[in-house]
Amino acid sequence: MIKRTIALAVLATLASGAAFAQSTVTLYGRLNVTAERQKIGSAKAVYDLSNNSSRLGLKGEEDLGGGLKAGFILEHGFDPTTGAGAATFWGRQSEAYLSSNFGMVRIGNFSSEAQLATGDWVSMHNHDTGTSADRLYAYFGSDVNKVAYRAPTFVKNLTLEASAAEGSSTTKRTYDLAANYELGALKLGAGYNKQGDQKQVALRAMYDIGAFTLGTYVQRDTNGIAAGSRNNLRLAGMYTMGASEFHANVGVAGKIGSIANSKATQATIGYNYNLSKRTKVYTYYTRFNDGAAAVYGGDFSSLAVGLRHNF
């Protein structure tokens, strides 16, 4: 009888473990392609099919019990116009994490928390991808060999994150801080990152007014684009009407340190039509005006028609 009781207790313990150690794995992705008429500087216009950060991903999570969860995200970038994959297969993202009531610890390769809290929000028309992506935001440092911590929600709707990415024999360690806060229709964000003598801080605000969404960020960086400090401002707006979205945004970057003729501007207007929650067709015109110093690589413009499908 004693042996039988012990055996039943062991089986019950194993069954209990199987009950809470449940895991799920999800396949997801995005195909986003545009047909474009592009003009670079004074050169003759060219026609091109462009990839807009298409991706294929896997993510999974396991419930370990007691509020503890383990998970992973793997994301591969590829070009649908050719079928070619990115040189680093999981280069877009490859992380493992543990989360509990005490927060989340992440390790691996993933994007800057500061940029996701600020610049990424304001690029509403095409998720900061392709030829209309924000060229003025100072994004630097390393996204690989990172350790990050996301704090639990001490204050409702407030998220705090911090990370450090290991450097190399030629680069310094990267530090990244971010905060996101939502107060009804108002959504705020802040980000700071530093690598050696490069540093930047940015603030973001988004506000929904009925069918209108208005957004802005302001950034101050030092040595982020070239030697010296500068200010960068972007304004964006979206108006929705049924399945239609009308977009406009403009960015203005000031003079960089003592570099003459280093001011630059970028403007985009666009229209999206949502065929479903996962599929849209869209068009946009984007124009980038570089200063005579050509710090950002020169003038550029593109008229594009695109198709995006998420799965």
As averages over each run of 10 residues, the pLDDT of the chain (311 residues) reads 42 45 87 98 96 98 96 98 97 98 97 96 93 97 97 94 94 97 97 97 97 98 98 98 98 98 98 98 98 97 98 97
Report pLDDT for 11: 39
Q: Which two tokens stand for residue 227?
A: 């030697």
Question: Are 284 and 266 within 8 A, CB to CB?
Answer: no
Report pLDDT for 23: 79
Question: Are 57 and 42 within 8 A, CB to CB?
Answer: no
One-letter identity of residue 214: L
Q: Which two tokens stand for residue 119?
A: 């610049």
As to burial, measured by CB atoms within 10 angstroms (0-12 exposed, 13-18 middle, 19+ buried), residue 307 is middle
One-letter identity of residue 153: T
One-letter identity of residue 174: T
- How many angstroms separate the most distant Cα atoms in the chain? 91
The C-alpha angle 305, 78, 120, rounded to 5 degrees, equals: 65
Q: Which two tokens stand for residue 237?
A: 């707006």
> What is the three-state SS of the chain?
CHHHHHHHHHHHHHHHHHHHCCEEEEEEEEEEEEEEEEEECCCCCEEEEEECCCEEEEEEEEEEECCEEEEEEEEEEEECCCCEECCCCCCCEEEEEEEECCEEEEEEECCCHHHHHCHHHHCCCCCCCHHHCCCCCCCCCCCCCEEEEECCCCCCCEEEEEEEECCCCCCCCEEEEEEEEEECCEEEEEEEEEECCEEEEEEEEEEEECCEEEEEEEEEEECCCCCCEEEEEEEEEEEEECCEEEEEEEEEECCCCCCCCCCEEEEEEEEEEECCCCEEEEEEEEEEECCCCCCCCCCEEEEEEEEEEEC
The pTM score is 0.88
